[in-house]
Structures are given as C-alpha cells and as structure tokens.
Chains A and B, each alone.
Chain A
C-alpha cells in the first residue's frame, strides 16, 4: 500500500519569499501525485497533478512541483509567496484510475508574515 509523508507540520515564510513544501511517497509503481490546498474553513482545491511525462508540472496560483523518482519526492514550490497563500497543503498519491487506495499526507500548514 502506498503512503505519503510531509515532514513539515508548519512553515512560516515572509510575503515575497520563496516556498518549498516537501512531500515523500512510498509506492512500488509509478504513482499519480497531487497537491491540494485547503484555505481556512474551505474544502480542498486541486493545485496540480502529475501522471507521467515532464517531471516539472505547473499548477494554478503560480505553484509548481517536481517529481523526482530517485528520491520518491514531489515537492511543491512557489517563487514568491502572497499573503493569500496562507492555508494547509496536502500531498496525495493515487494508485489506480478510480481512486482506490488514494492516500493523503498529514498536511503542512503555511503561515505568511506581512
């Protein structure tokens, strides 16, 4: 069964600074990888996804993520953080077309200082 770890429970950055949120997964085959964002009191919104092909994927809101098979990682990055990016971020891995064994990481809470 697959698993996902997000080593950082809480990260604080200053507005305008760069951001990297870490995600490591465990899965025997090529995984389907996702990053979701959850703003306070809101549901989950898909930021980006990786299925195959180019290992650097672009998402919404200026986010990107890079799949590194050798490191079993799928880290999320943003070059310049905005105050509105304060939220909780979840990395997730899926193993089939229909979502069985879809596993989320525990989440990383991002705080942004003015």
Chain B
C-alpha cells in the first residue's frame, strides 16, 4: 500500500530535550515536505526537500532541522524544543511532475511542556 508514515504519532516532552520525528514514504517520491498545523493558521511549511541531500527552508524553519540521506526518509529534528513548538506536524511527499499533489502522513501531535 502506498503511504507516508510518521513516528511517533503522539509525543509529550519537556523543554530542551532533543527529539526526532521520522517520516518515510514507499512511493519513490523525489519531493518531501514538513508542515505544522496550528488552529486558525492552517498548515505552514517548515522545510522541504527536492531530492536526496537537497533541502531548503519553508515559511517557519526556526527551531527545526531536517536531513535527507535516503530518498524514502525525511526526519524532522528539534534540537531544543520549546513550548511554542507544540503543534500537529505533517509530513508529505510528492511525485515529480504530478503538479504538487501531495500525499500526507497521519500526523504527529507534539506537546512540549
């Protein structure tokens, strides 16, 4: 089954404790992206990657890091989480040439205390 998976689905952590949210897709898509969703703001792009070893900032990259060492994986790293990063996070992938039709993961709900 074609899908985007994220782990963990739920995470409660404390300020300053480094964490990684994994994202994996099995569709051989070139492009992957991370979004955060906050009430009243919709989804805002954090980082995106056009292919292996190619990443770039989205609209709200502060406090986040990403890496793309393999085509299928695109982890999101919070080196020192803060309460304002409490949010719902979505990973997405796109097949090249499909005009931005994005396939979304199920989401990760993160709470930073």
Check if B101 sits within 8 Å of A43, measured CB to CB.
no
Check if B43 sits within 8 Å of A99, measured CB to CB.
no
CA A51 – CA B101 in complex, angstroms? Answer: 10
CA A29 – CA B31 in complex, angstroms? Answer: 22
A113 on the B face (CB < 8 A): no
Digitize B34-65: 1 where CB-to-A-CB distance is under 8 Å, 0 elsewhere: 01000011111100101000001001000000
Check if B99 sits within 8 Å of A97, measured CB to CB.
yes
Given contacts A44-B90, A97-B99, 16 further A-B contacts (CB under 8 A): A9-B40, A43-B90, A43-B107, A46-B101, A51-B99, A97-B100, A98-B30, A98-B100, A99-B31, A99-B33, A99-B48, A99-B100, A99-B102, A104-B35, A104-B42, A105-B42
Check if B44 sits within 8 Å of A96, measured CB to CB.
no
Contacts between the two chains (Cβ within 8 Å), count: 63
Check if B90 sits within 8 Å of A106, measured CB to CB.
no
A contact residues vs B (CB 8 Å cutoff)? 4, 9, 32, 34, 42-46, 49, 51, 90, 92, 94, 96-100, 102-107
Chain B residues with CB under 8 A of A44 = 43, 90, 104
Chain B residues with CB under 8 A of A107 = 40, 42
Digitize B50-92: 1 where CB-to-A-CB distance is under 8 Å, 0 elsewhere: 1000001001000000000000000000000000000000101
B contact residues vs A (CB 8 Å cutoff)? 30-31, 33, 35, 40-45, 48, 50, 56, 59, 90, 92, 94, 96-97, 99-102, 104-107
In this complex, what residue of B is CB-closest to A49?
A: B101
Check if B33 sits within 8 Å of A49, measured CB to CB.
no
In this complex, what residue of A is CB-closest to B43?
A: A104
Instruction: Give 10 CB contacts A-B under 8 Å.
Output: A9-B40, A43-B105, A44-B43, A45-B104, A94-B100, A96-B100, A98-B31, A99-B33, A99-B102, A102-B33
